[in-house]
Structure formats: C-alpha cells, structure tokens
Chain A
Amino acid sequence: MAYDYEKSIRPGKLPHIWCPGCGHGIVMKGLIRAMDTCELDRKNTAIVSGIGCASRLPGYLDACTLHTAHGRAAAFATGVKMAKPQMNVICVGGDGDGTAIGGNHFIHACRRNIDMTYVLMNNYIYGMTGGQFSPCTPTGDLASTTPYGNPDPIFDISKLAIGAGATFVARTTAAHPREIDKLIVKGIQHKGMAIIEVIDDCPTTYGRRNKFRSVIDMMKRLKTEAVSVKAAAKMTAEQLEGKFLTGVLFQDTEKPEYTVQYANVIKKAQGA
C-alpha cells in the first residue's frame, strides 16, 4: 500500500515550486515519514526555514510553520525552542541559506546544543536566484557567477557542525531516500542539536552547467560519491578520494542540552 503522505500535506498547497528532478521533494517525503515514525504531534511541532527553494518546504506541511528571512532559521527556531521547550523544533533549508548568510546562526545553534533537528539540503548552489555559487559549490565548478570556474574552497557542512559543537551529525543523499528518514528519526530522537545534511541535486541551475546531462546522471553521481561510514572503514585513503561519508558521522550524548541548562538557571534564580 502506498504511504499516506497526504495527511501531512496542507490541502491545496501542492504542486510545490520545485523543478522536475529536484531532490527536495524526496527529502520532504523522508521528513514526513520520520515525523510519522516519531509520532510528532504537528500542533506541537514548529518547522522553521529561511529563504531559498528548500526553505519553501514548511509551507506544504501541516504544522506550525515559520518561513523566516534568509539565513535566519536557526535563530528564529532558537527563540521558539527557548520560549517553549516542550515543542519539537525542526529546521529545514539549503546550503547557501544555512552556511553563508546563516552561517553564524548555524554554528552558534550547534555550539549551544539546543534540541532541534536541522535538515540541511546541500545542492551545491543558490537555486532560487538562478544558480550562483554557494559555500558548497565544488572548487572549479561552473555557476552563473563563476563563469571561469569556482575559485572558492568549500565548506564541509558536517565537519563544520561537528566542529561547532552539534551533538548529532549525519549525512546522506537524495539518492538514498530510505536513509533520509532513518537519519532524521535518529536526529529527532537525539536530545540536542542534530544536523542531517542531505546531499541533494539541482539539475536546473547546477547540473546543466556542470555537464550532467540528466537527473539520472546526478543521482548516479550521488550514489558513486557516497560511501557509508561502515564501508569506508574498510577502504584506503586512496579509495576514498573524491568520496564523502554517509550515515551517522558523530554523536555525543554527554554534552548538556541548552534548554535543560537554562531550566537549571531558572532553578538557581528561583533559589531552589
């Protein structure tokens, strides 16, 4: 029997804005399955985003949805979670939104280890504005603003999140739909800042400029470049050249969660 996504989608809000072949829809379905698995009460769930193609996702979902300003999702979400810690807070967004204009908010939300799940769709490009290079566009690749090849080095988002202090960091790709919801479930269940980076594809503004003749070519690339943590353990550095790791990359269950820390502040202030 087909999975019932419709009960999670707001009536009348589809079709979505995403191009044919875009992976964001795959991620959205994964998020719906994950929220269902965790039995999240949508009334008590805030889904927060910034600006960009990926950030339009919350509007389609039946929950408390907050489409904020460019890059600011984590900061708005921090306010929601602090004011109402009993709410489930999920951030979604893209690589430019989350790590360029929103980079400061991203790293500090990781540092605080505030309990939220951030699903970051990394499609290597600013799609909505027509394909300008992002902090995740591979060096040398073509974008509308790197006509001679991208001179910039990239951010490794998962490493950035680990370095910044997130306590659950996982990565998968749009070509691994079953892993998406499994990792989001683990992220939701984790008490603290959970980053799930989904390497995604943008055929319209990234793929066509970078010699991917079809969406299938892009998906094949994701399959080829992704190596699970388990498989990687048996591979040499040479074999791992040009690959990226997928699965749970990091988890720390010891670091205190921020709203719990603040609950202790309240206790102290009240003389308990």
Chain B
Amino acid sequence: MAKKVALLQGNEACAQGALYAGCKFFGGYPITPSTEVAEVLSVELPKVGGKFIQMEDEIAAMASVIGASLTGAKAITATSGPGVSLKQELIGYACIAEVPCVIINVMRGGPSTGMPTGPGQSDVMQAMWGTHGDHAAIALVPDSCQEIFSETVRAFNLAEKYRMPVQVLYDEIVGHMRERIEFPEPGELEVIDREAPSVSPEDYKPYDSTKGQVPPLAAFGSDYKYHVTGLNKADDGFPTTKASLVDAEERRQIDKVMDNIADIESYEEYLTEDADVVIWAYGSTSRSARYAVNELRKEGIKAGLFRPITLWPFPAKRTAELAEQAKAIVVAEMNLGQMVLEVERVAKGNCVVVHEGRVDGDPLNPGQIMDKVKEVL
C-alpha cells in the first residue's frame, strides 16, 4: 500500500512527529518562528484525548510540560531563542529532577529579540550550556521536513529512555520550508515509552540507580507516592547536602548520557572517505554544504560533508577521526563561531579548522562555503 504523503512545513512535520510518538500534552507560548507547532497541536491533540494549553509565559509553558510529564504524559513545548532563554531555569529543573520532555527550538537570529523571522543557528551552545549547573544535554538538529518528523519521534524516545529533557533545534528555514513528507506507518519508527517501576510502592525510590543508570519514573496519580525537587537529592528523592550522595547523583545524571553516546549519536557523512576537506555543517546549512561538495568535486576538489544529527552530546570521536584524515575542516554555521570551538577542541591541531558563518538573516549559500574551502586549501 502506498504511504500517506503530504506537503508539510517543517513545523507541521514536527507536530505530526510528536503525535506519532504518542505525545499527549503541549504547553506553550506564542513565538515566531515556532508557532505553527502549537497551532497544529491545538487542533490535533484533543482529537486523540491529549491536552493543549497556551500558558501565560514561556517559563509557565515549560513548567506545565514538566508537571504533565510527571503524570505519565509524553509532553512537548515549542519555542524560539527568547523563549528558550526563559525556559533555561526549568530545563535545568527537568535535568536534575529527571523528567522526560521535548523542547523544540526553531532558531532565529539573536541575541534578544534579534530577527524573529530570519534564520539563525546561534543557540547551539545554549542548548548545551544554557541552564546553570553541571548537566548533560541531548540536542538534535534535523535538516529537512522528513527528518524533523523522525527526529521529533527520536527526541521523545531519548527523553523517555534517558529520563531527561531533549531539545530539537532547527533553523527558521527548515521550520518554514515545505517539503514532501512520507508518513511512516505505525510501528515503522521505533516508539519508546518510559520504563515503569517494577518494585512495590513502598519500596519505590525515584532515583534508585542500583538496577541501571536511568531509574524508572512512576506516574503521579498511580499507586506511587514520591517527592520531586530541584534541590540536590538522594536516591529517595529527598533533599540532601551529604557530599557523597550529591556527587554520586550529579555524576550519574551526566554519565547516563555520556556512557551511552553510541545509542544517542547520529550523523550522516557524504563523500568523506577520501575527502581532503570536510565541511562540518548541520540544519539548513548542511543543505548548502552538500551542494558545495558536489560543485567542488566537479572542480576536482575532494570535499566531503559531515552532518551531525545529534549535536549534543558532541560527535567527538568521528570528528577527531576526520581531523586526522583531512587537511582541513570547514565548520559552516549561521553564527559567528560556536560549534567550531568544539571541532577545534577535538581536532587537537591535527588539521586546519576554519569557520564560515553569517548572522545577517540570509542563509549560508553554497558559493560562500566553496570560497572558504578554496581559501583554506
């Protein structure tokens, strides 16, 4: 049977991906260029018995998502730079309290109000370091409408599996671009639900890691009563300042991601096998980069593309390998130098690393990337 196809905007694909993943709650606040995610879910969620609420502000939206998730609902919010800045407080809360949730950031120019209708890729470091305190982060950076669908599903899977907030970042270009989407059949994409506790309510500890790095999360309103706090806590969920307990919990919350990079990592490579120069690009910029690779190859320049799909945790191993193989890595991104810092860090001087960026609201075009490649070779 032919698959259901549609011409969808990136933001619409995101909403459809959320529904496919079994999302039952959206809490949000209107902000360009992400609003269509909210609009579609306001229509579709009640049809499946889900809940949509437009909250009074971005912080409240994030709070409602965490509250809903604690009742067992898969929950999502969608916003853009200024909204993500406001949400940082409670993204940190979701990290320490280990509450699964998905945050969509349709990236626009910045800082501050910046360029609401223009694209940007300048929130990528914020996705890792935006909230205070040590923590792990998972951030996914799809580059097409189809991939926004599938990466939104994967974001829910990773959030539920690792019991943490997962961010999906795509720039305004991909968010507002329309492309043909093939809807996966039910069961075609993996859908992961959070693990329910197997112990009795009396024995339940919400952060008991004796059976694994990710303790099962009980739902509020089930048979389990427990405490959730943003304070450093022991495995029973209650606040503690005991050094050994605080240290163990802090480290476990980071290790649960960093020990499972192989599971979380995702990237695409295009013509990198023999590449002298690797263009390292994500989101809409990777589409320009792919075009640039093809044109450069026509001119006899051995160019390739490395495209992270999981941006955080950073694809350090593969980037380091490429730095040993290639003469140069050109990091192309719509900012003035963010992920290039990570690429430089892991390249350890094994190849030249240069940055090509822009922040004027126009996309990075292939010609600009090609010029940089020629300059560096």
Task: List chain A positions with a Cβ less than 8 A from chain B.
Answer: 10, 13, 42-44, 46, 48, 58-59, 62-69, 72, 75-84, 86-87, 104-105, 107-108, 262, 265-266, 268-270
Shortest beta-carbon distance, B259 to chain A, in Å?
A: 28
**Which residues of chain A are within 8 angstroms of B300 by Cβ–Cβ distance?**
none
**Which residues of chain B are within 8 angstroms of A63 by Cβ–Cβ distance?**
225
**Which residues of chain B are within 8 angstroms of A58 by Cβ–Cβ distance?**
227
**Which residues of chain A are within 8 angstroms of B25 by Cβ–Cβ distance?**
79, 82-83
**Which residues of chain B are within 8 angstroms of A104 by Cβ–Cβ distance?**
56-57, 60
The answer to the question of B231 belonging to the interface, with a C-beta cut-off of 8 Å to chain A, is yes
Residue of A nearest to B24 (CB): A83
CB of A46 within 8 A of CB of B68, answer no
* Contact indicator per residue, chain B 65-97, by CB within 8 Å of chain A (1) or not (0): 111111111010000000000000110010000
CB of A80 within 8 A of CB of B57, answer no
The 10 A-B pairs of least Cβ separation, nearest first, read A79-B67, A79-B64, A75-B63, A269-B46, A83-B68, A75-B60, A108-B56, A67-B229, A76-B67, A79-B68
The CA of A72 and the CA of B229, in the complex, are separated in Å by: 12
CB of B75 within 8 A of CB of A83, answer yes
CB of B227 within 8 A of CB of A80, answer no
Contact of A78 among B64, B72, B228 (CB under 8 A): B64
* Contact indicator per residue, chain B 212-231, by CB within 8 Å of chain A (1) or not (0): 00000000111111111111
CB of B230 within 8 A of CB of A82, answer no
The CA of A58 and the CA of B229, in the complex, are separated in Å by: 10
The B interface is mostly helix, strand or loop, or mixed, namely: mixed
Shortest beta-carbon distance, B374 to chain A, in Å?
A: 50
**Which residues of chain A are within 8 angstroms of B238 by Cβ–Cβ distance?**
13, 59
The answer to the question of B313 belonging to the interface, with a C-beta cut-off of 8 Å to chain A, is no
Contact of B226 among A64, A68, A72, A79 (CB under 8 A): A64
Q: Kindly list 19 other residue pairs between chains A and B, CB separation below 8 angstroms, not including A75-B64, A83-B25.
A: A43-B223, A64-B70, A64-B224, A64-B225, A65-B225, A75-B60, A75-B67, A77-B67, A78-B67, A79-B65, A80-B68, A82-B53, A83-B67, A83-B68, A83-B72, A87-B221, A104-B60, A105-B60, A107-B56
The CA of A137 and the CA of B221, in the complex, are separated in Å by: 37
CB of B227 within 8 A of CB of A265, answer no
**Which residues of chain A are within 8 angstroms of B320 by Cβ–Cβ distance?**
none
CB of B221 within 8 A of CB of A59, answer no
**Which residues of chain A are within 8 angstroms of B60 by Cβ–Cβ distance?**
72, 75, 78, 104-105, 108
CB of B68 within 8 A of CB of A82, answer yes
The CA of A147 and the CA of B244, in the complex, are separated in Å by: 41
**Which residues of chain A are within 8 angstroms of B68 by Cβ–Cβ distance?**
79-80, 82-83
**Which residues of chain A are within 8 angstroms of B24 by Cβ–Cβ distance?**
83
The CA of A46 and the CA of B220, in the complex, are separated in Å by: 7
CB of A66 within 8 A of CB of B67, answer yes
The CA of A262 and the CA of B51, in the complex, are separated in Å by: 8
The CA of A42 and the CA of B238, in the complex, are separated in Å by: 18
The CA of A59 and the CA of B64, in the complex, are separated in Å by: 20
The CA of A52 and the CA of B71, in the complex, are separated in Å by: 24
The CA of A42 and the CA of B53, in the complex, are separated in Å by: 26
The CA of A136 and the CA of B280, in the complex, are separated in Å by: 55
Contact of B93 among A13, A46, A68 (CB under 8 A): A68
Contact of B239 among A59, A69, A82, A83 (CB under 8 A): A59
The CA of A66 and the CA of B220, in the complex, are separated in Å by: 10
**Which residues of chain B are within 8 angstroms of A64 by Cβ–Cβ distance?**
70, 220-221, 224-226
Task: List chain B positions with a Cβ less than 8 A from chain A.
Answer: 24-25, 27, 43, 46-47, 49, 51, 53, 55-57, 59-60, 63-73, 75, 89-90, 93, 201, 220-231, 238-239
Residue of A nearest to B73 (CB): A83
CB of B46 within 8 A of CB of A270, answer yes
**Which residues of chain B are within 8 angstroms of A44 by Cβ–Cβ distance?**
221
CB of B228 within 8 A of CB of A65, answer yes
CB of A66 within 8 A of CB of B64, answer no
The CA of A108 and the CA of B55, in the complex, are separated in Å by: 8
Shortest beta-carbon distance, B228 to chain A, in Å?
A: 5
CB of A43 within 8 A of CB of B67, answer no
CB of B63 within 8 A of CB of A72, answer yes
CB of B59 within 8 A of CB of A75, answer yes
CB of B71 within 8 A of CB of A83, answer yes
**Which residues of chain A are within 8 angstroms of B55 by Cβ–Cβ distance?**
75, 78, 108
CB of B228 within 8 A of CB of A43, answer no
CB of A270 within 8 A of CB of B47, answer yes
**Which residues of chain B are within 8 angstroms of A269 by Cβ–Cβ distance?**
43, 46-47
The CA of A169 and the CA of B273, in the complex, are separated in Å by: 70
The CA of A268 and the CA of B71, in the complex, are separated in Å by: 24
CB of A67 within 8 A of CB of B227, answer yes
CB of B67 within 8 A of CB of A87, answer no
The CA of A104 and the CA of B61, in the complex, are separated in Å by: 12
Shortest beta-carbon distance, A76 to chain B, in Å?
A: 4
Shortest beta-carbon distance, B129 to chain A, in Å?
A: 19
Contact of B51 among A66, A83, A86 (CB under 8 A): A83
CB of A72 within 8 A of CB of B221, answer no
Residue of A nearest to B90 (CB): A69
Whether A105 contacts B46 in the complex (CB less than 8 A), given A43-B222, A80-B68, comes out as no
CB of A66 within 8 A of CB of B222, answer no
Residue of A nearest to B62 (CB): A75
Shortest beta-carbon distance, B138 to chain A, in Å?
A: 21
**Which residues of chain B are within 8 angstroms of A108 by Cβ–Cβ distance?**
55-56, 60
CB of A65 within 8 A of CB of B75, answer no
The CA of A269 and the CA of B47, in the complex, are separated in Å by: 5
Whether A76 contacts B66 in the complex (CB less than 8 A), given A13-B238, A83-B73, comes out as yes
Q: Could you jot down 17 A-B contacts, CB within 8 Å?
A: A43-B221, A59-B239, A64-B225, A66-B227, A67-B227, A68-B63, A68-B66, A68-B230, A69-B89, A72-B59, A78-B67, A79-B25, A79-B67, A82-B27, A82-B51, A269-B43, A269-B47
Shortest beta-carbon distance, B39 to chain A, in Å?
A: 14
Residue of A nearest to B222 (CB): A43
Residue of A nearest to B228 (CB): A66
**Which residues of chain B are within 8 angstroms of A42 by Cβ–Cβ distance?**
225
